[in-house]
């Protein structure tokens, strides 16, 4: 049964979004739930759950923010795009940094997904461009942004936003870190597939954690090691 939060949300959605909810639920064999959650929209999904997390005040960007979360769910449940997950093995965490890996993988998966789903969001909601430009501007100003973060942000600015001002700022970050060549190679990997893009990031920035990265496919009910994608691609 859908939760009260989602029952409140659903009637206010435009018809195409309600249809999308139906398509996702059919394929997932699950009802989408909605739960109250902090200040931002988010989603939480896997083989046995499809949850949209909604701030107390309702979706901050109305239907655009609901559509965004539905696109995350659609890619996984309907389009059979795998989700990057921490391999479910018997590994014991050796340190705090180690114990943070599952969360880091989840965040990275989200960032990679945005390269694919935000263009759809912008096609339907032109006003969303301002939100994303603001978010990217803030990220580019953050001195703690990691090298792989710079790479993904640069790619997002070029592919998704096409914003000249942000492109200049992103280029300056890339040049500072000497990541120009990596940007070109990452772009090729993104063109190939999400799997290739994810593998590229691990091989380039975090080879030590590659053995613990897995891809979970919903329709196939299968989890495969990200490193095995490498062998398949030669
Ligand atoms: Zn998202």
Domain ranges of the chain: 1-79, 81-234
Distance in angstroms (rounded) separating the CA atoms of residues 228 and 50: 27
Q: Minimal CA–CA distance to 46: which of 224, 201, 228, 217?
A: 217
Residue 232, pLDDT above cutoff 70: no
> Order of strands across the sheet with 42-46?
33-36, 49-54, 42-46
Render pLDDT for 157-187 as a digit per residue (tens, 0 to 9).
999 998 889 999 999 999 999 999 999 999 9
State in Å: Cα 110 to ligand 1 middle: 6
Contact status, residue 109 vs residue 84, Cβ threshold 8 Å: yes
Render pLDDT for 56-98 as a digit per residue (tens, 0 to 9).
888 888 899 999 999 999 999 999 999 999 997 667 777 787 8
Contact status, residue 71 vs residue 40, Cβ threshold 8 Å: no
State in Å: Cα 129 to ligand 1 middle: 14
CB burial of residue 218 (10 Å; 0-12, 13-18, 19+): buried
Q: Which residues contact 69 (CB under 8 A, 6 or more apart)?
A: 41, 42, 43, 52, 53
State in Å: Cα 96 to ligand 1 middle: 26
Token pair of 233, please? Answer: 């691609």
When pLDDT is cut at 50, 70 and 90, the band that residue 231 belongs to is low
State in Å: Cα 94 to ligand 1 middle: 30
Render pLDDT for 91-120 as a digit per residue (tens, 0 to 9).
777 778 788 999 999 999 999 999 999 999
Residue 234, pLDDT above cutoff 60: no
State in Å: Cα 233 to ligand 1 middle: 28
């Amino acid at each position: 049964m859908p939760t009260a939060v989602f029952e409140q949300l659903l009637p206010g959605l435009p018809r195409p979004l309600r249809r999308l909810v139906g398509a996702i639920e059919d394929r997932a064999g699950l009802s989408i739930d909605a739960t109250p959650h902090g200040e931002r929209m988010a989603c939480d999904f896997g083989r046995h759950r499809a949850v949209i997390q909604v701030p107390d005040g309702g979706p901050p960007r109305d239907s655009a923010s609901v559509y965004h979360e539905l696109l995350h769910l659609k890619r996984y449940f309907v389009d059979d795009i795998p989700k990057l997950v921490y391999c479910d093995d018997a590994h014991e965490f050796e340190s705090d940094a180690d114990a943070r890996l599952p969360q880091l993988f989840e965040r990275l998966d989200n960032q990679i997904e945005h390269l694919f789903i935000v263009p759809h969001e912008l096609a339907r909601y032109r006003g969303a461009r301002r939100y994303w430009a603001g978010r990217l501007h803030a990220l580019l100003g953050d001195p703690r942004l990691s090298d792989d973060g710079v790479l993904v942000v640069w790619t997002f600015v070029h592919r998704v936003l096409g914003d000249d001002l942000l492109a200049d700022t992103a280029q300056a970050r890339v040049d500072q870190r000497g990541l120009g060549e990596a940007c070109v190679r990452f772009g090729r990997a993104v063109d190939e597939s999400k799997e290739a893009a994810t593998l590229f990031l691990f091989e380039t920035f975090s080879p030590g954690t590659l053995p613990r990265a897995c891809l979970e496919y919903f329709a196939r009910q299968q989890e495969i090691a990200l490193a095995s994608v490498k062998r398949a691609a030669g």
